[in-house]
Amino acid sequence: MDLRYSSRHRALQEDARSFIKEYGHLSPKTGGGRKRPDARALDWQELLLERGYFARNIPREYGGFGLPVDIMELAIIAEEFSIAGVSPGIMNQGISMLVPTLLEVGTKEQCIRWIGPTIRGDIIWCQGYSEPGSGSDLAAAKTSARVEDGQFIVNGQKIWTSSAHYADMMFLLCRTESDKSKHDGLSYLLVPMNAPGIEVRPLVTMTGRAEFNETFFTDVRVPTDQIVMGRGDGWHVANVTLKYERMLLGDANKLTYRLARAVELMKKTMLAGRRFIDIPEYRERLLKLQGEVMASKYHGLRLMTEQAKGEDSGVKRLIVKLNGTMIAYRLSSLVVDVLGAAGLAYEPVGEASEDDEATTWQIDNMYDIGLIIGGGSSNIQKNIIGERGLGLPREPKSVPPAVRG
């Protein structure tokens, strides 16, 4: 155990603090409804990239800051940004899921081509996994792609596609090998959303906004080099992405950030002349969550340490999404309780401008349920933890229906 800061670490912490002090007011607001990064968010992103507070370890040739991994540095940056309540940069499906996937299994050309514009926020990605007939049973995807004249021709339908209405690209899981088994017949394609034959129909979610979509494909052409790994490797690649998605969804930095906001709010919000933090029932909830957030945070540091050493964290990694999304939901639930009746006025203003604080928390609280479902529901996480993590036998299966090509 070594949590000491070297002089370099102390200097970084100082730098981060003075950076936040000087530029923090330029940060876009965090939380709330999902939308395409606006000019403010893009400028902020550029500043973070320039200073190495974002994409710190991504090679320079791919547009990152190019430093070797030092998990203490990452922890310091994350901590300073979350405590200050300043945006740590854009976190979306492209940046947090596709980029690490490409770094892990993509070709050098693919990394050069896609990573730079993605981390700058210029290319927004969406995730084409779920279909009306296959959500939890992701590998049963039916959307198909056949090769014709040196191109993939995609047909089918995806659903619950977050951000598809403003995304530039999609990473798509589809069936290319109709003669192969369920899991071996899939491929992972990178599809431009402006390709002819793609139709995006927004779906209104419980937040009242259209945050995800149905996406239809009719003879959509995709160049054959826009496949990650090979034909039939789609299930493998999709799971690499899911690994990063689940780490993102269970991210302990978000919990630290949420906790700090909850403490602030409870110190200033009053109920019948008393601060919420002085009311034992609410304080006890906050304290309980603090213990859980601390446990999650140090668990995260432990995983980062193991990752940096190239160790396989096994079941310890598999629990992150289940653990983090539940705590996040309970934190935002505490906050909406503190806001109480006064926090019920709810008028999301959508993608054009910023929501007020109460509306933002209400959206976050509802979205937290979405995140408990998305990326593999809690039940699916528990299946994975039990089966892959603990070696328990799978449910006896009924014979799978034949997969159509």
Ligand X SMILES: Cc1cc2nc3c(=O)[nH]c(=O)nc-3n(C[C@H](O)[C@H](O)[C@H](O)COP(=O)(O)OP(=O)(O)OC[C@H]3O[C@@H](n4cnc5c(N)ncnc54)[C@H](O)[C@@H]3O)c2cc1C
Residues taking part in catalysis: 245
What is the dihedral sign for C-alpha 43, 47, 50, 56? negative
160 contacts which partner out of ligand X, other proteins, none, CB within 5 to 8 A by kind?
A: ligand X
Extract the tokens encoding 322. 């289940």
304 forms part of the interface with other proteins (CB under 8 A): yes
377 contacts which partner out of other proteins, ligand X, none, CB within 5 to 8 A by kind?
A: ligand X
- Residue labelled with tokens 């993939």: 152
Q: Which residues does residue 132 pair with via DSSP β-bridges, in sequence order?
A: none
Per-residue interface string for the shown chain with other proteins, residues 305-324, x marking contact by CB under 8 A = xx--------xx--x--xx-
Cα–Cα distance between 17 and 77 in angstroms, integer?
Answer: 9
| Residue from the set 18, 107, 136, 218 that interacts with ligand X by CB under 6 A | 136
| Residue from the set 144, 162, 296, 362 that interacts with ligand X by CB under 6 A | 162
Which residue from 148, 168, 169 is spatially nearest to 226, judged by alpha carbons?
Answer: 169
Letter string b/e over residues 36-55, b meaning 16 or more CB atoms within 10 A of that residue's CB:
ebeeebbebbebbbeebbbb
383 forms part of the interface with ligand X (CB under 6 A): yes
Q: Which residues does residue 156 pair with via DSSP β-bridges, in sequence order?
A: 217
What is the dihedral sign for C-alpha 177, 178, 184, 188? positive
Residue 134: what are its φ and ψ, rounded to 5°? -145, 105
| Residue from the set 373, 385, 387, 389 that interacts with ligand X by CB under 6 A | 373
List CB contacts of 251: < 8 A, sequence separation 6 or more: 300, 324
The nearer residue to ligand X, 195 or 260, going by C-beta atoms, is 195
Beta carbons of 57 and 67 less than 8 angstroms apart: yes
229 forms part of the interface with ligand X (CB under 6 A): no
392 forms part of the interface with other proteins (CB under 8 A): yes
Extract the tokens encoding 239. 């799971």
244 forms part of the interface with ligand X (CB under 6 A): no
Per-residue interface string for the shown chain with other proteins, residues 257-296, x marking contact by CB under 8 A = ------x---x---------xx----xx--xx-xxx-xxx
Residue ranges in contact with other proteins by CB under 8 A: 1-4, 9, 70-72, 75, 263, 267, 277-278, 283-284, 287-288, 290-292, 294-296, 298-299, 301-302, 304-306, 315-316, 319, 322-323, 379, 381-383, 385-387, 389-396
Residue ranges in contact with ligand X by CB under 6 A: 126-130, 135-136, 160-162, 212, 370, 373-377, 379-380, 383
